[in-house]
Homo-oligomer: A and B are copies of this chain.
Amino acid sequence: MSFTVSLFISNLNVHNFIDELNKAFESRVRLGLMSLLVVQDEMDFARLKEALQLSDGNLASHMQALEKLGYIEVHKQFIGRKPNTQYAVTELGRNAFSAHLLSLEKLIKQMQS
Chain A residues 6-65 with CB under 8 Å of chain B are 7, 10-12, 14-15, 17-19, 21, 23, 26-29, 31-32, 35-36, 38-40, 47, 50-53
In Å, the complex CA distance between A105 and B105 comes to: 7
In Å, the complex CA distance between A19 and B105 comes to: 19
In Å, the complex CA distance between A108 and B105 comes to: 8
Partner of A51, one of B11, B52, B108: B11
Stoichiometry, copies per complex? 2
Number of A residues with CB within 8 Å of any CB on chain B: 34
In Å, the complex CA distance between A1 and B61 comes to: 33
In Å, the complex CA distance between A74 and B53 comes to: 38
